[in-house]
Structure 1
Amino acid sequence: MSLIHPTAIVYPGAQIDSSVSIGPYSVIGPNVRIGAGTSVASHCVIEGNTTIGRDNRIFQFNSLGAIPQDKKYNNEPCALIIGDRNTIREFCTFNIGSPGDQGVTRVGNDNWIMAYVHLAHDCVVGHHTIFANNTQLAGHVWVGDWAILGGFTVVHQFCRIGAHAFTAMNSLLFADLPPFVMAQGQPAQARSMNFEGLKRRGFSPERISAVKGMHKHLYREGLTLEQSMLRIKAMADDRPESMVDIEMMLDFLSGANPQRGIVR
C-alpha cells in the first residue's frame, strides 16, 4: 500500500524512501531527497535542492526549500539540509542558502520547532534546540546545540546564539548571545544563566559552578569583553572538569563582532 496520498504531487527526480509518508495535496519538487521514516503531512510544499534526513515529523502547511528572501539571489544552486528526528510544526518557512555565504541553510538533529518559525537563508541550527511559536531568524544566524528560543523571539542577521542559551518571549536580539546566558527584552539583555536547563541535562555541580563564575566575569564585574575573557581563561587552572565549557565560551567570545559585541 502506497504511503503517498493520491492527491500529492511528487515530481520525477525526487528521491523519496519507500517508508516516507506524504499527505494530501503536498508537493515535492524534483530535487528533493527525503530519508526513511519521515512523514510529511498535508498541504506542504518542499522544493529546491532540499535534503531531509530520517524520522522527521513535518506537519501540515509548511514551506521548505523556497528561494531566499534576498533581492541579490539569481537562481544560484543553493540548498537546504535538514537532519534526523526533527519535529517541524505548522506554517514554518525554511529557505535555501544564498551565494553570499556558504549557499546552504542547515538544521541539525532532534530539534523541536513549533509553528510559524522562519529560518532565513544561510541559517545554521545545531542539535536538540527548541524554537517556540513565531521565532524569526534573519539570514546568516547561527544557533548552538540545546538553545531554547521563546515565542516571538526575533534575531538580527549574522547574530550567533551559543549552546544552552535561552531567550524569553518577545526577545529581540541585535548582538551575539553567549552560551548558557538567559536573555529577555527589546533589545535583549542578559538576565542570568540557564542553570535549570543545565541541571536537567546532567551538568555536575562543579560544571554549574564554573558557569556561575563565567557569568560573574562577563556581567557583574564591569569588565570589558577582553578583560572578561582573560578572567574566564584563568578559571581553567583550577577547574579541569569544566574545561570543555570554558573553552566553548572563550571560542564563542573570540568570534564576537567587534561592532555589535555580545548581549549585555
Structure 2
Amino acid sequence: MIHPSAVIDPSAKIADKVTIGPWTMIGADVEIGEGCEISSHVVIKGPTIIGAGNKIYQFSTIGDDTPDVKYKGEPTRLIIGDNNVIREGVTIHRGTIQDNSETIIGSNNLLMAYAHVGHDCVIGDNVIMVNNASVSGHVYVGDWAILSGYALVHQYVHIGPHCFIGPAAFVYHDVPAFITAFGSPAEPRTINREGLKRRGYSAEQISLANQAYKLLYRRGLKLDEAIKAITKLGDDPAIMQFLNSIEKSTRGIIR
C-alpha cells in the first residue's frame, strides 16, 4: 500500500489501509488516519493530524509552515478531519502563534485544484472551494459554503454557513449566513435559496431568510435598525443563524 519510493519520516504515524503513492514525502510529526489515499508527489509536513478516509491528489503541499513574516518557526499544527477530497496542487499551511497556533479543516470538504488555505484558517464541514479559490490567514468559512473559482478572501474575514461566493469575487468584509455574493469587491445579491433547499431548510425558513435579507439590504435601514427588525421575525433557527453571523462580525459585513 506504500510505494517503495515514498519517503516517510520514522516519527510519522500511518494507520491501517493507507495508500501512499510514489515520490511522496511524509515528514516528521505527521499522523494519517485509516483508509486515506495519498497520491504521488504529495508533500505532507508536520505537526499535522489527518483523519480517516481522506483523498489527497498529486502535487499538493499539506502542513507546510506559513510565509507570514511574523512566523519564526514556533511549533504550530494543522488538523484535518475525515473524508475530505483535496485535489491537485492544493496548499494548506499550518497556524501561527499570533492566533490559536492551528489551521483546522473539517470533514467532507472538496478542495479543487490549486485552492489555497492560509495559516490559522478554520474551514467547516461540507465546504467546496473551486479551482484556485484562496483564503488568506485567519479566515473562517462556515459549513456548506461554496467559494467559486478564483474567489479571494481577505484575512480575518468570516464567510457564513450556506454562502455562495461567485467566480473571481474579492471578499473584503464578512458575509452573513445564506448570502450569495458576487463582484470585486463582493456585494450581496440574494440568499442562496437553492443551497438552503438542498440542505433541508423548509419553504417557510427560506421565506424567513429572504425577509431577513431584504431588511438588511433592501430597506435602507442602518445596521442596528435592520438587526432589530430581523429580531421581530421570531426565533426560528434560520433567523438565529442569520443574526448570529451578523452580530459576531468583527470586520463589518458586506453591504
TM-score range, shorter chain: over 0.9
TM-score normalized by structure 1? 0.95
Is the 2:14–2:32 Cα contact (8 Å) retained in structure 1?
yes
Is the 1:42–1:59 Cα contact (8 Å) retained in structure 2?
yes
Matches within 5 A, 1:75-224: 75-224=73-222
Is the 1:69–1:120 Cα contact (8 Å) retained in structure 2?
no
Is the 1:60–1:90 Cα contact (8 Å) retained in structure 2?
yes
1:18 CA displacement: 2.3
* Aligned-partner residue type, residue 246 of structure 1: I
Q: Partner residue of 1:256?
A: 249
1:27 to 25, 28, 47: 25
Is the 1:135–1:150 Cα contact (8 Å) retained in structure 2?
yes
Cα distance in 1 for residues equivalent to 2:211 and 2:47:
45
TM-score normalized by structure 2? 0.98
Identity %: 45
Is residue 245 from structure 1 mapped to residue 232 from structure 2 by the alignment? no
1:123 CA displacement: 0.3
1:114 CA displacement: 0.1
Cα distance in 1 for residues equivalent to 2:42 and 2:216:
44
* Aligned-partner residue type, residue 246 of structure 2: L
SS of the residue corresponding to residue 252 of structure 2 reads: coil
* Aligned-partner residue type, residue 60 of structure 1: Q
Cα distance in 2 for residues equivalent to 1:54 and 1:224:
47
What is the aligned residue count? 255
1:44 CA displacement: 0.4
1:67 CA displacement: 0.5
Is the 2:209–2:242 Cα contact (8 Å) retained in structure 1?
no
- Superposition CA RMSD, Å: 0.8
Cα shift readout 1:109-154 (whole Å, capped 9, x = no counterpart): 1001100011110000000011100001100000000000100000
Is residue 72 from structure 1 mapped to residue 65 from structure 2 by the alignment? no
Q: Partner residue of 1:50?
A: 48
SS of the residue corresponding to residue 33 of structure 1 reads: strand
Is the 2:169–2:183 Cα contact (8 Å) retained in structure 1?
yes
1:71 CA displacement: 0.8
Cα distance in 2 for residues equivalent to 1:154 and 1:183:
12
1:184 CA displacement: 0.3
Runs of 4+ aligned residues of structure 1 deviating over 6 Å after TM superposition are none
SS of the residue corresponding to residue 80 of structure 1 reads: strand
* Aligned-partner residue type, residue 261 of structure 1: G
1:72 CA displacement: 1.2
Cα distance in 2 for residues equivalent to 1:138 and 1:83:
20
